[in-house]
Structure formats: C-alpha cells, structure tokens
Structure 1
Amino acid sequence: MATARDLLTVALDAAPGRRAETGDLSLALAGAELLDLMDLRALTLDGVLIVPSDPPVTDDRLLREAADALTRQPPYESVEDWLWRRGQGLSSAYLAAFEEEGLIARQRRRWLPAWTGEAVLADSPARRRAADRWASAEPVLAALGTAIGIRETPVDEVPEVTEGAAGTVLAAVDDAVTELTAVRQRRAVEKAAFDNIWRGP
C-alpha cells in the first residue's frame, strides 16, 4: 500500500484553505513510509523502536531509500527520532520524484519560467486510487490527513487507529506535528514582539 504517495497526492489535491504546512507534511510522510515498510515486512516495532528486517521488494525508489536509511544496529532508532531525521525536507524529495515521474506539472504563469509555478497533479491511476482511498475514509490515510489538517471529515466519523504498530506510528506523527506547530506559534509570537519593539509606541 503506497501510503506515503497517497498522502502527498491528497495533500496536493486539498482545498486551498486546507493546505498542509511543509514541515507537517514531511513528518507525516516519514510516518507513512514506516507504515509502508511495515506492510512490506521490511521492519517491525519493538515498542517504539524500529527494528529493520529484510530490504523491501519494491519499485518505489523513495521507499528503498527509506529502508536504506534505517538504523540496522542496536540501539535501534525510536519512531519519534526517525520522524525528525527522515522528515527533514522529505516533502520536497517526494515532490521532485512526482515531477520526474510525470505525476505533477508546474502550472506556468505569465512572464515566469515553468518551474516557478504551482505544482499541479496530473490525471493518473495513482491519483484516482489515492482519491478513492481518501473518499472512503480509510483509517490510516484519514488519520494522517487529520494530523496535518487537510481532513474535512469530523474526527469522530473516521475509524480511529490506536492499537498495534500502526497506532504507535500515527500517535508519534500526531505528537511531532503538534510539537512543530507549537514551535511555529512561539516563533511567530517572538517575531511579533520583536517587530513591536522596533516599531515603538
């Protein structure tokens, strides 16, 4: 199941007022990769620790890179540490891969080069599959969408995933996004206070 790719697809398809923050999306993509690698039996969780197993058999280059990035010797990495390490700039890496594969294009704007335009999804089987999964409120994808603020369906209408390894990963994603949001808010307050000092009475 291509949860990471489906998540980026529905995030790009989200209404303008529900676009995910880049950092939030990167954290959620890192969590989605763990879920995809678990489905491929490339890792298991020992509590909150990621225990790698055999390399995954997949055509997805980014998933292979994710598997290669796993810490393969004890002490193993925690899910939380993985999210922050792997999530660094991950949404940009996925966007670049989508563009290379022809899954997105840059919307050309007058007088500007094509690469400066907004990323727009091309019509493709992958996009339709992600849209179907999203519309059906598949629990894992819905939980990730809720964590990054792109899910319009009320939380109590989406089946909750709280048990097992998937529940552990989703809880870690939610906690990491909450932490990043708090950091952004604190920086915004500090910037506003700094601006007020220079503005004066």
Structure 2
Amino acid sequence: MTEFTFRCTGVRADAYAAGPTLVFRLRITASDETPVHALALRCQIRIEPARRGYDPAEADGLTDLFGERSRWGSTLHPVQFAQVPLMVPGFTGETETDLVVPCTYDMDVAATRYFHALFAGEVPLLLLFSGTAFTGAAGFRVEPVPWDREAAFRMPVKVWQEMVDQHFPGCGWIRLPAATLDTLLAYRSRRALPSWEATVEELLDTAGERTAP
C-alpha cells in the first residue's frame, strides 16, 4: 500500500475571491515513487488552542468559548475550523497543491470568535486527511488514504486579519432573527435614524454601554 505524507508549507488570503478565503499550500509525498493518477481527499482542519499562550486581553475575548482562565485545563478543547474536499491531479513522488478554504466572519461560529479574539502570534492548526488514492505503474489500483494522515501548521494571525480586512474593512457583522431585525427596523424608522450604526449607537447610549473610540 502506498504511504502518503502531508506537509503544509504556507497560507495566504485570496485577494480575488468573492468571499473570505484562505489558501493553504500543501506538499504531498507518495512512498516508493509510486505513480499516483489522482487523489480524492477530505481535509478536516482543527484549531488546537492549548498549543499557544494568550495575553490577558486575548483571554478575556476567549471567555465566551472556554470559560474563565482558571478552568482552561479542562475546557481548552480543539475547535472545528473547516472540512473541505480536494482533488489532486496525477504525480509521481511528490507534488504541491493549493487547499482552498472558504471562511466566514459570522461571530456565531466558534472558530471565527476564536480568531477574532487574537491580536498577534500564530494559530496552531491540525490538518487531518483521508480519502481515496488511484495509483499504479502498470494497471490501476484504488487505495484508501487513512484518517491518521495529518499535518500540523501554525498560521500567522495576521493572515486571518488581512483576509477579513479585504472583505470587511474596519467592520464586522452579526446575524439576528428576522423578528428581532424587524423590531430594530421599526425602532430606526420611528427615530428617523440614518443608518444601522446610528441605531445601535443610540441603543448603547440609552443603556449606558457606549465605549469611547
């Protein structure tokens, strides 16, 4: 059976994608110079939060995910980031390819809240691979790629920040139920407020929760 090894050599934000997208560069090696006709892969990407440190401000931002810092010994579990398919064309020995990962800035998603809480440093990721390999020098074989194939990678936080800034410069967004949105729209109309920003700012002022810029 052909043995495959995977290594992530870099990551970049796709500046030309329609939505927030990260592109991971993968190096794939097949044992014994076996000709590989194609690889049909499934890639699961997990955040491993226990593999880095956090300053006090970052820890405050992660309270919603992991609780108070005193509890992190039992709550700092891996966070699912993405699961994407990947078709790799034929090669012999070794090849490099791009793994395209569409992202979201939805703050209801745990991975997004994690990224948002970080200011600098690196994000410890684990890429897990499985799938099917089509191989053979003289003939055609179908082989499994088992789930124990993995690659650790530390993604710079600035890459995530650059990706978000490309699509939401200086902004963010939240998802609300339709009934809540209708109520906010009615409030905005009654007050003749010019924008959603002005609407939220007035509500924060009324609640005494406005933060100075």
Higher helix proportion: 1
Please indicate, yes or no, whether the TM-score normalized by the shorter chain is above 0.5: no
Alignment TM-score, normalising by the size of structure 1? 0.24
Alignment TM-score, normalising by the size of structure 2? 0.23
Higher strand proportion: 2
> Rg: which structure is higher?
2
